[in-house]
Amino acid sequence: MKMKAVRFLGLHDVKIVDDMPIPVPTGEQVLIKVAGAGVCHSDLHVIDDGIVPGPFTLGHENAGYVEAMGESVKGFKKGDAVVYMVLGDVGIVSHANNLLRTTVITMRVRLQVED
């Protein structure tokens, strides 16, 4: 199975990639199915000024639903609505013969969703 991502490839070079491998969360990692994403001014600085080298996936202010969790995650279940902000890069992992940047979710807030 694959996912779609907005990838920064280099200065002024951004592409929507439809065939990114879906990472499998482990430990305290949470996989979020993004329902809404914002474009932040820092994303624009990356695209227009190249302040960070690519390639990597853009977007760090998002809302969505818990899709899968690592074995150490507590207090969330699949389908929970969440918002999160990603700050920082904690390394690179090899997954399905591709290099993916891994990030830290610095804020997870459960949303109360009413019908």
User: 89: which DSSP letter?
Assistant: E
Tell how far CA 108 is from the center of its chain.
13
Average pLDDT of the residues in 12-21: 92
Q: State the Cα–Cα distance between residues 92 and 76, nearest whole angstrom.
A: 26
Q: Which tens digit of pLDDT belongs to each residue from 57-99?
A: 888 788 888 899 899 888 888 988 888 776 654 443 333 333 3
Highest mean pLDDT among 13-22, 25-34, 56-65, 72-81: 13-22
Q: State the Cα–Cα distance between residues 35 and 66, nearest whole angstrom.
A: 11
Q: ∠26-31-34 over CA atoms, to 5°?
A: 170
56 confidence band (pLDDT: 50, 70, 90): confident
State pTM to two decimals.
Answer: 0.69
User: Does residue 111 carry a pLDDT above 70?
Assistant: no
